[in-house]
């Protein structure tokens, strides 16, 4: 395994296109979901210098903190609460340009300014959790992030 990932490119698209094959190589052949989530978090956190990257998994009808990279975070989120709980409840990707303007946003850190949350599915198309990425800058995420992050999430299911 390569000691570290190498991200090339200037644009967001180029960076994702550079990192996706490396993440694929990293998790190919590994069936342990937690291990793969852990490496995906590290690859995205250090590849893009995001403030926080982490997974929450559905357990006992709550989202429970799973592998992440970044400062400590809240451990449990109820259905419909915060950005994560809303993405889960509505079964949709949510992009928030300014977290202070999202009603009910759960502030794990005051440094977090914008956020993207993507549902994760099992083979039966049921939501098993979410991927949450926070930025310390406003309006970091857009449809390009949603597109490529979904591609990365799909790698886990292969």
Q: Which residues bind ligand SME (CB under 6 A)?
A: 52, 54, 73-74, 77, 82-84, 105-106, 108, 112, 115, 132, 134
Smallest gap from residue 134 Cβ to ligand SME (A):
5
The C-alpha atoms of residue 149 and residue 79 are separated, in whole angstroms, by: 22
Q: Min. distance of Cβ 132 from ligand SME in angstroms?
A: 5
Query: For the chain, how far is it from start to end, CA to CA, in angstroms?
Result: 19
Contacts (Cβ under 8 Å, ≥6 apart) of 81 = 104, 106
Q: How far is the CB of 80 from ligand SME (least distance, A)?
A: 10
Give the CB-nearest residue to ligand SME.
Answer: 82
Which alpha helices (DSSP H) does the chain contain, by range?
12-27, 33-48, 82-90, 143-156
Q: Which is nearer to ligand SME, 28 or 100 (CB)?
A: 100
Beta carbon nearer to ligand SME, 82 or 119: 82
């Amino acid at each position: 395994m390569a000691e570290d990932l190498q991200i090339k490119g200037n644009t967001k698209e180029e960076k994702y296109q550079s990192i996706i094959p490396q993440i694929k190589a990293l998790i190919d052949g590994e069936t342990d979901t937690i291990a793969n989530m852990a490496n995906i978090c590290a690859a995205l956190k250090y590849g893009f210098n995001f403030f926080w990257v982490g997974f929450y998994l559905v357990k006992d009808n709550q989202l429970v903190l799973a592998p992440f990279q970044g400062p400590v975070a809240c451990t449990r989120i109820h259905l419909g609460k915060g950005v994560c709980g809303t993405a889960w409840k509505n079964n949709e990707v949510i992009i928030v340009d300014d977290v202070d303007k999202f009603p009910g946003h759960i502030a794990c850190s005051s440094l977090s300014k914008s956020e993207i949350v993507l549902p994760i599915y099992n083979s039966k198309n049921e939501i098993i959790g979410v991927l949450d990425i926070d930025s310390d800058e406003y309006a970091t995420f857009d449809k390009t992030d949603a597109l490529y992050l979904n591609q990365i999430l799909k790698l886990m299911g292969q």
